[in-house]
Structure 1
Amino acid sequence: MKIASINVNGIRGAVERGFLDWLAQQDADVVCVQDTQVKSFELGDHILYPEGYEGYFLDAEEDGFSGVALYCRKIPKAIMYGLGFPECDQEGRFLQADYDRFSIATFLMPDGRDQRAKQHFMEQYQEYLSKMSRKRREYIICGTWHVAHKTLDLANWSDNQLTPGFRPEERAWMDNVLGPTGFIDTFREINRRADEYTWWPKLDQDLPRTRQEGWRLDYQMVGPNFRRHVVDAWIDYDATFSEYAPLIVEYDLDL
């Protein structure tokens, strides 16, 4: 099973820059999309239902803001829209596909421009993650968490310790998610190298990504029992339809 996760930073613009061509080449079972920034009823069928996929969208109430989507080759048994608290559901930040043995979710954390709002969101999301970790069902949560966890997850970390996405309280929250709460960062199960990033500032887009001062803000998180199913994980640096790069993980499971 191959799962890809990508923050498109506006799906219509990403389509103009080649997102659908990239999607057609992936042979992914599920593609988790974040930050669609559109009302899905405004999209054509070629975006809602690309060849070989069923598309599911959760839009934000505000126009041109947030939103997540799932592209699934196999139709899920059920789709769960949101998590039950307004900051998540009204802003279109969580969408989950349920299959027989596990669930796959696409997730978009607030970026931290309003740090108080982000902190409040993390507190409520932590409650949900704690409940999820106690269930017998397994979960794969894919998306932009807007936190670089460790110093190797961003360039110039010493200059960014008070920058949203690397603030001490955000990293402590992520410590808890990956510690007592019990989730696993699948990418770091495979790749421990520094200089592996999923986001670069727009102003630097013309520079080669491997030389830019990037951040790793995107994750595929799983429970501890799923650790053994992670086969490979990589970042697709050649996909340039967004300032984010896709994160792709292979699991030795079938949907």
Structure 2
Amino acid sequence: MRIATFNVNGIRATQRRGFDDWLASRGCDVVALQEVRCPVPLLPDGVFRDYHLTYDAGQTAGRNGVAVLTREAPVAVRSWGAGVLVRAPGDSHVELREHAETGSLARELKAFAAEGRYVEVDLADHPLTVASLYLPKGGLPAHLQVPGRMREKPDGGARYERKMRFLRGFARHLTATRRAAAAQGREFLVMGDFNVAHTRLDVKNWRTSQRSEGFLPEEREWFGSILSPRSLVDVVRRLHPDVDGPYSWWSWMGGAFDRDTGWRIDYHLASPRLAKAAIAGGTDREASAAERLSDHAPVVVDYDLPPVGASTGLRSPG
């Protein structure tokens, strides 16, 4: 079973660069998308080909938006927002389903519920729950903000604090969701743009990045706290334990892509048994900067996963 995650940085722009060809040629069974950044009525016709679409666009036009593409219609859909688009291939009908109430969220996540940052589905053809996440980028804490040395206007640490609130709530959400999947005999996979590089292997210029958002000590500590052999496993790092990268994001500026000055911030985090079923994976890095579909590259993993009805040997949730 081939599963991918891809921050498209705007589906309409990525389509113009060749997203359709990538999707048609890659043969994925499931694709998680982030930063779709498109109101439902403006989704390009046919861009998702013969996939079923589950999409939380959020309520801010041109921002965020997460989706999951599946070969079969999912048997269940859950989101933090009030409405989720569920659409069959070739269907122009807009069906907005109401799902998870914000009251069921960790309190830190309620402020993010309408932003289109998280959606999850239960697959019909495999015993698996799949989630797509777009985690806030954040910013620097106040003591690291130096006017004139920042690309963005200093904010006294507001963006940093907002991200840290998200991280605290999301850690609890992951535990609850993973255990709920296990209780139903399903494996769990959360994919997407976490906007955190975990270790020195995940950033090309790690020495100069230690005071940058996305590689701050407290962000890296949080990321490590959600991983363990009994909870969630970083699948690509398990497949490539000692290599730099493989990176999944490069700035558009300064020739970063050509020099491979990248960050690994897009992940597959899987329940342990599913992680052990991963047989190959990495990033679909384009051959040249001119061929890039997005500032991110797709992260694609092949799993040897049994279909519905087969025993997974899943133990009680930890």
- How many residues matched? 251
Q: Which residue of 2 aligns with 1:215?
A: 263
Q: Which residue of 1 aligns with 2:122?
A: 98
8 A contact 1:37–1:67 mirrored in 2: yes
Deviation per CA, 1:37-95, whole angstroms, max 9, x where unpaired?
11122213313xx3321112101211111111111111111111226343432110111
Question: What code does the residue aligned with 2:134 have?
Answer: L
Structure 2 residue aligned with 1:199, among 249, 256, 260? 249
SS in 2 for 1:203: coil
Q: 1: distance between equivalents of 2:131 and 2:238?
A: 20
Structure 2 residue aligned with 1:244, among 288, 292, 296? 296
Structure 1 residue 186: Cα displacement:
0.4
Question: What code does the residue aligned with 1:76 have?
Answer: P
Q: 2: distance between equivalents of 1:55 and 1:236?
A: 22
Cα 1:254–1:46, aligned 2, differ >3 Å: closer, same or farther?
Answer: farther
Structure 1 residue 159: Cα displacement:
0.7
SS in 1 for 2:74: coil
Q: 2: distance between equivalents of 1:66 and 1:86?
A: 16
Q: How does 1:41-80 map to 2 (within 5 A)?
A: 41-47=41-47, 50-80=48-78
Q: 1: distance between equivalents of 2:54 and 2:178?
A: 25
SS in 1 for 2:131: strand
8 A contact 1:6–1:143 mirrored in 2: yes
RMSD: 1.8
Question: What code does the residue aligned with 1:240 have?
Answer: R
8 A contact 1:34–1:69 mirrored in 2: yes
Q: Which residue of 2 aligns with 1:40?
A: 40
Question: What code does the residue aligned with 1:111 have?
Answer: K
Q: TM-score, normalised by structure 1?
A: 0.92
Q: TM-score, normalised by structure 2?
A: 0.75
SS in 1 for 2:60: coil
Give identity over the alignment, percent.
32
Structure 1 residue 134: Cα displacement:
3.1
Flag the structure with larger Rg.
2
Q: How does 1:1-255 map to 2 (within 5 A)?
A: 1-47=1-47, 50-82=48-80, 84=102, 85-99=109-123, 101-113=127-139, 114-135=159-180, 136=182, 137-179=186-228, 182-192=231-241, 193-204=243-254, 207-208=257-258, 211-238=259-286, 240-254=292-306
8 A contact 2:234–2:270 mirrored in 1: yes
Structure 1 residue 7: Cα displacement:
0.3
Cα 1:37–1:181, aligned 2, differ >3 Å: closer, same or farther?
Answer: farther
Structure 1 residues 78-87 or 51-60, which shifts more?
Answer: 78-87
Structure 1: gaps of 5 or more residues: none
Counting helix residues as a fraction of each chain, which structure ranks higher?
A: 1
Question: What code does the residue aligned with 2:135 have?
Answer: M
Structure 2: gaps of 5 or more residues: 81-99, 103-108, 140-158, 308-318
Structure 1 residue 202: Cα displacement:
1.4
